[in-house]
């Protein structure tokens, strides 16, 4: 169990493609938001100093939520590729070795969660530094506890989602579609970024039912401190949302996905990678 956990952590934090898309490309967007668009946004604010700082905190909070969602989505895509090569022999190992399904899941999830949490802490720290440094206005998270809890819940959801997609590919023997399925979390992440930033969403149902939106709004709340939201079009939205219900909605998605994942793993049979490429 310990070996598999350490192997999972090492596989993620040393994966150049994952680090490129999940960290470097994410930070590229952060540089644009902080150093290119940020000064222009602050100059456009004809407000007293205190109100200007609040408005800039709005701006930073939206960017922070978007950056973490895009990073988690990219990490989920990297995990999906890693799982594809691991699960090829998993049915054989579960049947003929001492490895149990529960042991595999606990080790893989724990390792992925540890790696994802460390990478998102890096995103958090660099966001605070970049957006505070670019215009000389200090913008630190209002509730770091909510942010940490959301990162943990979001990471587990994305791990569960990428595992589910990978197992669906194997169960359906759709190996030629593996690349397409693996990029679904990333594509949905960028779609959530666009919707959260540019579309006015007032219905609580959207946030409670969609794990991407629930994670985004919780990250925003953790950074800004309340649900009053001003999107990129200048529209102010006052949302009457519950922290507990948002967290429970993400947890419910995690439970459902993992029940399905467990059933799918138990019903898998051994297929070699060579056979998979032909199918």
Summarize pLDDT for 96-119 with one digit per residue, the tens. Answer: 566 676 777 788 888 889 989 999
In this prediction, residues 76-99 reach a mean pLDDT of: 67
On the CB side of 133, how many CA atoms lie within 13 Å of its CA?
Answer: 9
Dihedral angle sign, alpha carbons of residues 111, 115, 118, 123: negative
Q: Give CA–CA dist 63/77, Å, rounded.
A: 21
Dihedral angle sign, alpha carbons of residues 236, 237, 242, 243: negative
Q: What is the pLDDT of residue 145?
A: 95
Tokens representing 265 are 């793993």
Tell me which residue of 204, 192, 169 sits closest to 72, measured CA to CA. Answer: 192
Tokens representing 4 are 């598999």
From residue 55, give the alpha-carbon distance in Å to each of 46, 48, 209, 219.
11, 10, 29, 17
Is residue 86's pLDDT more than 70? no
In this prediction, residues 47-73 reach a mean pLDDT of: 89
Is residue 250's pLDDT more than 80? yes
User: Among 26-35, 78-87, 203-212, which is the least confidently predicted range?
Assistant: 78-87
Q: 273 pLDDT band (50/70/90 cuts)?
A: very low
Residue 241 and residue 229 in contact, taking contact as beta carbons nearer than 8 Å: no
Q: Give CA–CA dist 174/231, Å, rounded.
A: 40
Q: Give CA–CA dist 41/56, Å, rounded.
A: 8
pTM value is 0.86
Tell me which residue of 121, 94, 96 sits closest to 108, measured CA to CA. Answer: 94
Q: What is the pLDDT of residue 155?
A: 93
Q: What is the pLDDT of residue 278?
A: 47
Residue 82 and residue 12 in contact, taking contact as beta carbons nearer than 8 Å: yes
In this prediction, residues 32-36 reach a mean pLDDT of: 93
Q: Which residue has the higher pLDDT, 2 or 188?
A: 188
Q: Which residue has the tokens 């959260």?
A: 196
Q: 170-191 burial by CB neighbour count: b if 16+ within 10 A, else e? A: beeeebeebeebbbbbbebbee
Residue 74 and residue 121 in contact, taking contact as beta carbons nearer than 8 Å: no
The 3-state DSSP class for residue 230 equals: strand
User: Among 197-206, 229-238, 247-256, 257-266, which is the least confidently predicted range?
Assistant: 229-238
Q: What is the pLDDT of residue 178?
A: 74
Dihedral angle sign, alpha carbons of residues 174, 116, 241, 201: negative
Average pLDDT score over the chain: 83
In this prediction, residues 233-254 reach a mean pLDDT of: 85
Dihedral angle sign, alpha carbons of residues 142, 121, 2, 185: positive
């Amino acid at each position: 169990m310990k070996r598999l956990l350490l192997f999972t952590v090492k596989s993620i934090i040393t994966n150049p493609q994952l680090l490129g898309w999940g960290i470097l490309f994410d930070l590229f967007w952060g540089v644009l938001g902080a150093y290119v668009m940020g000064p222009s946004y602050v100059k456009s604010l004809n407000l007293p100093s205190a109100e200007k700082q609040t408005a800039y905190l709005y701006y930073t909070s939206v960017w922070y939520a978007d950056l973490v969602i895009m990073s988690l989505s990219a990490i989920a895509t990297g995990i999906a590729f890693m799982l594809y090569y691991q699960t090829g022999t998993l049915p054989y190992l579960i049947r003929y070795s001492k490895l149990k399904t529960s042991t595999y899941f606990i080790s893989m999830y724990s390792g992925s969660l540890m790696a994802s949490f460390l990478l998102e802490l890096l995103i958090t720290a660099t966001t605070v530094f970049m957006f505070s440094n670019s215009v000389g206005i200090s913008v630190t998270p209002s509730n770091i506890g909510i942010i940490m809890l959301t990162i943990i819940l979001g990471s587990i959801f994305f791990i569960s989602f990428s595992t589910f997609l990978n197992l669906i590919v194997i169960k359906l023997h759709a190996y030629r579609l593996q690349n397409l399925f693996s990029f679904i979390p990333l594509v949905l992440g960028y779609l959530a970024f666009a919707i959260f930033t540019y579309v006015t969403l007032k219905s609580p149902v959207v946030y409670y039912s969609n794990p991407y939106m629930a994670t985004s709004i919780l990250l925003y709340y953790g950074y800004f401190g309340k649900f009053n939201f001003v999107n990129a079009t200048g529209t102010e939205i006052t949302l009457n949302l519950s922290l507990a219900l948002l967290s429970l909605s993400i947890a419910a998605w995690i439970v459902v996905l993992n029940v399905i994942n467990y059933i799918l793993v138990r019903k898998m049979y051994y297929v070699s990678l060579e056979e998979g490429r032909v199918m």
